[in-house]
């Protein structure tokens, strides 16, 4: 099963054995997290089946999907999405292993909803797109950069309260 990867998404699966599978005496936990599936490639109504280690088929049904309101930007899309944007842009630099990044991503998702149409919000994986991170001298994550007319206007390092990000956004929008 080919599946694209996105760290800003998480999805939970419920596994059930198909009728043709033989029963097991003590089933393992039926709910387990998977964080490497992009919700755009797997809808909540989708079901997938895989072979278990015993050779029986397991069916996986999506129970919950957390889809980010902030789109993923990459090195390939950086220039068009960020530098050439006529709308101010917020970019969070994150890594998949960073706990504080997950907290910031939740805040960025809220901000993306609050500022829809006024501000484009993106996330960039600093591990997989290290050239962009190096260009902006990102040494630690999370870092949020705000751009207007292709220029970096604000930089916020670390995990901050939502009000801190909103104040920086308002400064950029009013400049």
- Does 161 reside within a domain? yes
Q: List residues with catalytic annotation.
A: 98, 101
pLDDT, mean of residues 113-123: 93
State the Cα–Cα distance between residues 85 and 3, nearest whole angstrom.
30
Domain containing 106 — which CATH number?
3.40.30.10
pTM comes to 0.62
Tens-place pLDDT, residues 91-106: 999 999 999 999 999 9
- Chain segment 29-60, per-residue pLDDT in tens: 333 333 333 333 334 444 444 454 555 555 54
**Is 97 among the domain residues?**
yes
* Number of folded domains that form the chain: 1
Return the pLDDT at 67. Answer: 60
Residue pair 89/136 in contact by the 8 Å Cβ criterion: no
* Full residue range of the structural domain in which residue 161 is found: 71-174
Residues 6+ apart with CB under 8 A from 142: 92, 93, 94, 98, 100, 101, 104, 105, 157, 158, 159
In a domain, 149, yes or no: yes
What CA–CA distance (Å, rounded) separates 70 from 63? 22
pLDDT at residue number 144: 96
Q: Pairing relation of β-strands 71-72 and 120-125?
A: parallel
In this structure, is residue 64 part of a structural domain?
Answer: no
pLDDT in tens, 54-82: 555 555 443 333 466 888 999 999 999 99
Query: HEC string of 80-97?
Result: HHHHCCCCCEEEEEECCC
Query: With bands split at pLDDT 50, 70 and 90, how would you rate the model's confidence at 107?
Result: very high
Evaluate whether residue 29 is within a structural domain: no
Does any domain span residue 114?
yes
**Is the pLDDT at 156 greater than 50, yes or no?**
yes
Would you say residue 26 lies in a domain? no
DSSP bridge partners of 124: 93
């Amino acid at each position: 099963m080919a599946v694209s990867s996105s760290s800003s998404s998480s999805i939970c699966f419920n596994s059930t054995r198909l009728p043709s599978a033989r029963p097991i005496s003590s089933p393992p936990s039926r709910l387990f997290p998977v964080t490497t599936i992009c919700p755009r490639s797997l809808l909540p109504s989708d079901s997938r089946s895989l072979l278990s280690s015993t050779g029986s088929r397991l069916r996986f049904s999506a129970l919950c999907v957390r889809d980010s309101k902030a789109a993923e930007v990459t090195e390939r899309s950086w220039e068009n999405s960020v530098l050439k944007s006529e709308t101010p842009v917020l970019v969070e630099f994150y890594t998949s292993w960073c706990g504080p990044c997950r907290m910031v991503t939740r805040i960025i998702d809220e901000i993306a909803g609050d500022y829809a149409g006024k501000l484009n919000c993106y996330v960039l994986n600093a591990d997989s797109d290290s050239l962009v991170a190096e260009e902006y001298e990102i040494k630690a994550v999370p870092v949020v950069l705000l751009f207007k007319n292709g220029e970096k206007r604000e930089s916020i390092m670390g995990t901050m309260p939502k009000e801190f990000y909103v104040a920086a956004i308002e400064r950029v929008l009013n400049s």
